[in-house]
Amino acid sequence: MTSPETTSPLANVLVVDDIRENVDLLSRLLNKRGYAVLSAQNGQEALQAARAAVPDIILLDINMPGISGYEVAAECKKDPRLSEIPIIFLSSLDDASDKVRAFAAGGVDYVTKPFQFPEVDARITTHLNLRRLQKELAARNFEMEQTNGELRRIGELRDNLTVASKFGMWWTYYQQFDCLSVEAECRHSALDFLHAFDQLVQRDVKIAAYFANRPAEKTLAHLREWANDAATTVPSNGSLNLSNVLLFLTIFRSRIESQIAAGSSNTDQMVHPDIARRLESYLKWRGHFPRRKTKENLQELMERACGSATIIVVGDIRRSQDLMTYALNEQDFSRRMVEFISQTRAVLDRHGGFFDKFTGDGFLVYFNEAICESYGMNYLESFLGFVREFTAFSSNHFREWIKFVRKIPGQAVGLAVGADLGRVSFQSLDYHVVAVSQSIVWASRMASAAKAEEVLMNNLLYQALRQREDLAFDGREASTKAGESFMAWKLKFAASQAQS
């Protein structure tokens, strides 16, 4: 075994190959990368080495004397200590059936010899990262199970307090009306309380012991008899008078409250600060993020978003006033507008976009570099995917809509889109997004200059996309309301891309 000079290796790698030169070469290269290396030249040695010092990852040859690499992998999967170790096969066998057999034996990857070390290095890094994430997830799940168990216990105790409080209220009314009114409600509430009490005793025998040989124990027996028999009246000896029952409930509540206080202190120390922060950020931003699962702290992600590139997209429905004024009826207009809004959000979610608002006859959305990366997406590709899919939808949507208005507008009806690239400052004010950027103003100007079914963009976004072979651009001169002239660029998809 060789080891790097550093006392904290990146990981422990077991290299298994029956050719000594291959082992030495890989060991030397891995040492330089900071890995600690174990080596073996046959399957039996590999299993012995792995069991003696469990490695983080195994590089495994297939054709070896004695036990083959397939058999080594299978044996590792049978051993609980070794079953989760990533195994990368390194072999000169390049037939598809060999690779299938390798994966069936438990391999996570397959590199064909002769190999390039940068490729092997990249595969190792990938699978070590995956394994680390799996361990972190398992640890997090274990912590959450423990925390959730404690929270459930405290929740159940609080439910018992609620049931006891409700019964105390009904019993007070019942006694104040001389046991002549609300009897059915009181008896039902008593049964609910007794059921909760019995369940609590099953979980904590100390509760029953706490009442044993006390006057409250007799109160419980009388209460149980009265609640379970509708023909039974309240005893005349006072055993179930208002004071006795309320005293019993007070003792019961104090016992539970002491347990909640003890449990709550532990729970608050364990999870409350983190849960509170995550809940706060979730509530602030949840309505604007893509409806996809994420483990990110949304507040921290939004802070990163402020420092990364953002594509601002403004959509505006041309002649929307005519669509409303000359609608077939109010219900038809509402239905088609709701469909437009729903599809906007659905397509935006699919492409990782950040939603700001609907503007009455359009929308404002963003494709942010940091946010898209958190979902494994590229923000430029996300923007293009959204525009390609949504403009195809809106073109068909408005072409069908115009068939059902009483007066055809003199100008084209459809969606005009403007876009710009820049930095945006995102804040949440009373749970509403406040986005500030000069690029938002320019995206709005692009949308104003665009015609129905056109997508116009400003210069920086055009420069970021103009080299792509699947896109084409036409220049368009326009001016602001103040008379300032500018050049916009109309986006067009190649025919094959537009059809797909």
CATH, residue 479: 3.30.70.1230
Residue 433 lies in a domain: yes
Q: Quote the pLDDT of residue 281.
A: 58
Q: How many structural domains compose the chain?
A: 3
Are 481 and 374 members of one domain? yes
Are 106 and 159 members of one domain? no
Q: Quote the pLDDT of residue 282.
A: 60
Q: What distance in Å separates the CA atoms of residue 143 and residue 155, rounded to the nearest whole number?
A: 18
Are 228 and 311 members of one domain? no
pLDDT in tens, the chain (500 residues): 444 444 567 889 999 998 899 889 999 999 998 899 999 999 899 999 999 999 999 999 998 988 899 999 999 999 989 988 999 998 888 788 888 888 888 888 888 888 888 888 888 888 888 888 888 887 787 777 776 777 777 778 888 888 888 888 888 777 876 676 678 888 898 999 999 888 888 877 777 777 777 777 788 888 999 999 888 888 877 788 877 888 788 777 777 777 776 554 343 333 333 434 444 556 677 778 887 766 677 888 899 999 999 999 999 999 988 889 888 888 889 899 989 999 999 999 999 999 999 887 899 999 999 999 999 999 999 999 999 999 999 999 999 999 999 998 888 999 999 999 999 999 887 667 889 999 999 999 999 999 999 999 999 999 999 999 999 999 999 888 888 899 999 999 986 444 44
Residue 282 lies in a domain: no
Q: Quote the pLDDT of residue 498.
A: 45
Domain CATH code at residue 54: 3.40.50.2300
Nearest by Cα to 102 from 64, 66, 130, 60? 60
Give the model confidence (pLDDT) of 327-358 as tens digits: 888 888 989 998 999 999 999 999 999 999 98
Torsion of CA 56, 62, 68, 71, to 10 degrees: 50
Q: Quote the pLDDT of residue 488.
A: 94
Residue 351 lies in a domain: yes
- Dump strand ranges (E) for 377-495: 414-422, 425-429, 432-436, 455-457, 471-479, 485-493
Nearest by Cα to 62 from 16, 10, 118? 16
Residue 292 lies in a domain: no
Residue 74 lies in a domain: yes
Are 168 and 81 members of one domain? no
Rounded to 5 degrees, what are φ and ψ at 423?
Answer: -105, 140
Domain CATH code at residue 201: 1.20.120
Residue 278 lies in a domain: no
Are 387 and 256 members of one domain? no
Are 189 and 101 members of one domain? no
Are 266 and 322 members of one domain? no
Contacts of 179 (CB under 8 A, 6+ apart): 233, 234
Are 232 and 314 members of one domain? no
Given a contact cutoff of 8 angstroms between Cβ atoms, the answer to whether 167 and 182 are in contact is: no
Are 332 and 207 members of one domain? no
Residue 138 lies in a domain: no
Are 364 and 439 members of one domain? yes
Residue 89 lies in a domain: yes
Are 352 and 488 members of one domain? yes
Structure pTM? 0.48
Q: Quote the pLDDT of residue 177.
A: 63
Q: Quote the pLDDT of residue 265.
A: 39
Segments forming the whole domain that contains residue 399: 298-499
Are 229 and 179 members of one domain? yes
